[in-house]
Amino acid sequence: MSNAPETVYTDSPRVSCDGASDIRANGAYKPAALGHPRVWMEIDEKGYVDCGYCDRRFVLKGGPADQQAA
């Protein structure tokens, strides 16, 4: 059984992650008791950035790493 890291597609080159989207009810914002500190990251010329805490990958829509557009 494999738990691959989550991939999030975004329109913005600047993203934040707190590792808690999977534990929030109905996607509504609630402070994360089981996540990690919120970090802000910038997507570079590769077209994606990985969170250093939870390995969640953020992919810029239409960027070089966007496999949905292909």
Per-residue pLDDT tens digits for 4-37:
678 999 999 999 999 886 554 455 555 556 789 9
Whether residue 46 is contained in a domain is answered as yes
Whether residue 67 is contained in a domain is answered as no
Render 7-68 in DSSP notation, one character per residue: EEEES-SEEEE-S-GGGSGGG-----SSS---EEEE--TTSEEE-TTT--EEEETTSTT-SS
Whether residue 70 is contained in a domain is answered as no
Q: What is the pLDDT of residue 30?
A: 56
Query: In the structure encoding, which two tokens stand for residue 31, read together?
Result: 């402070």
Task: Please say whether the beta carbons of 18 and 34 come within 8 A.
Answer: no
User: pLDDT band for position 69 (50/70/90)?
Assistant: low
The domain in which residue 19 lies consists of 7-60
Number of domains within the chain? 1
Whether residue 45 is contained in a domain is answered as yes
Average pLDDT, the chain: 83
Q: Which residues of 33-50 are buried (b: 16+ CB within 10 A; e: fewer)?
A: eebeeeeebebeeebbbe
Whether residue 55 is contained in a domain is answered as yes
Task: Output the domain CATH number for residue 51.
Answer: 2.60.260.40
